[in-house]
Structure formats: structure tokens, C-alpha cells
Amino acid sequence: MSASERSHELARTAAQAAADKKAHDIVIIDVADQLVITDAFVLASAPNERQVIAIVDAIEEQLLNLPEKAKPVRREGERSGRWVLLDYVDIVVHVQHDEEREFYALDKLWKDCPTIPFVDRDLAAAETGSGE
């Protein structure tokens, strides 16, 4: 059973909030068939600790602004700013410093799971605008 529509909405909203704060290598992985504790992982990277924290703050703000407000039940790693985990039950968001992302390679660990498509709306708008 793949991730629910609610999980897709939360994941895409979190991914867009990360993209808005210049996160890179944003991936949404559907782990619903492999884990019973969550439906999807959102992975995002940043080059420094300050940006990691800014991305995390933006994600929390955007998910709280949804009609069905979403608040993390757990938040870990904020103090160091190297890898922050936000647990929303339906999704788990991992915002990692580039070095942690490369070292822990969650993308490779979960490579057998399908991804949920995500396209940064600003990037898509720029590509469509340049073709006119």
C-alpha cells in the first residue's frame, strides 16, 4: 500500500518549503510498503547549519498553514544544525548538511522504494517562462 493522499500533500508542501529556502537534492521517498511507522521521507540538503535551520523553520511554518494544520510530534537534531528530523507521523522530514547527506546516504539506503514526484514550482515557472 503506497503513501496516502494526506502524506503526499504534506510531503510536497514540505518539499516546496525547503525549495523556497534554497534547499537542494530534494527527494520524496514512499516508504509506506517498507515501514509501518510512516508513509514517506522528505530529504533535503543545505551547505551550512544556518541554512538547515532556516529550511526546517520554513517547513514547520508551511505545514502549520495548511487547512488541516500539521505540527511535528517530534523534532530532533536542531541544536547542532547538521541533521534535523521532523516527525509528522505521516511523513518524516530529514534536512541534512551536505556532508551528513553524503555520509549517511539515505537515498541509497531506501533506493528500492518508489519516489513521489516533486518539481519546485519556481523552477517549473522559470522553465515555462523561458520557452515563451
- CATH number of residue 96's parent domain: 3.30.460.10
Q: Is residue 93 within 8 Å of residue 86, measured between CB atoms?
A: yes
Asked if residue 25 lies in contact with residue 89, where contact means CB atoms within 8 angstroms, the answer is no
Q: Which domain holds residue 26?
A: 5-130
Instruction: State how far the Cα of 15 lies from the Cα of 67, in Å rounded to an integer.
Output: 17
Percentage, residues of the chain above pLDDT 90:
84
pLDDT tens for 69-94 read 999 999 999 888 899 999 999 999 99
User: Looking at the 3D structure of the chain, how many domains does it have?
Assistant: 1
Q: What is the arithmetic mean of pLDDT over 46-75?
A: 96
pLDDT band at 130 (very low <50, low <70, confident <90, very high): low
Residue 128 has pLDDT above 80, yes or no: no
Rg (Cα) of the chain, in Å, rounded?
14
- Mean pLDDT lowest among 3-7, 55-59, 89-93, 116-120: 3-7
Mean pLDDT of all residues belonging to the chain: 93
Per-residue pLDDT, 131: 47
Q: How much is the pTM? A: 0.91
